[in-house]
């Protein structure tokens, strides 16, 4: 397929495309923020991370679906406020562990998708962290409610 374009139009398009590509491929400048603006941007990034986890991470979605009703139960149960807080904190720790696990997986995948023994080990250790957090939560719930 042959396209005929006058040289001046072609040169103009090349110049425009080159300028456009040069501006889009430049690295982003990191702006250091202070005070209230730092707090606002921190909240924005936190919300973006949680939103991404809720939309894309099945394990986090499942744990969140357990967290919500169990938190309601912990708050409505006939137990003391410190005991309710312990139950909710145990559940939050599971969500925290899942966030860390996903962060490790994302960083390992960012480095490369090909198999590497150390990459697999990092993911396995992060997964073990989630498992231990679930075990800890189960123990806390058992001790508070039935021991």
Gap between the Cα atoms of 21 and 6, Å rounded = 22
Per the document, the length of the chain is 147
The DSSP call for residue 83 is: H
Active-site residue identified among 98, 105, 114, 117: 98
Vertex 106: Cα angle to 104 and 111 (nearest 5): 95
Catalytic (active site) residue 63: no
Catalytic residues: 98
């Amino acid at each position: 397929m042959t396209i005929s374009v006058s040289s001046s139009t072609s040169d103009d398009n090349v110049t425009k495309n080159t300028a456009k590509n040069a501006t889009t491929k430049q690295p982003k400048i990191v702006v250091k923020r202070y005070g209230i603006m730092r707090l606002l941007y921190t909240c924005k990034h936190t919300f973006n991370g949680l939103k991404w986890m809720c939309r894309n991470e099945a394990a986090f979605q499942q744990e969140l679906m357990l967290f919500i009703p169990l938190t309601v139960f912990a708050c409505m149960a006939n137990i003391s406020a410190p005991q309710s807080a312990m139950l909710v904190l145990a559940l939050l720790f599971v969500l925290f562990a899942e966030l860390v696990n996903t962060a490790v997986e994302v960083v390992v995948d960012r480095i490369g998708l090909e198999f590497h023994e150390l990459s697999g080990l990092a993911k396995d250790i992060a997964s073990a962290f989630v498992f231990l957090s679930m075990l800890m939560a189960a123990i806390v719930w058992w001790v508070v409610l039935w021991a």
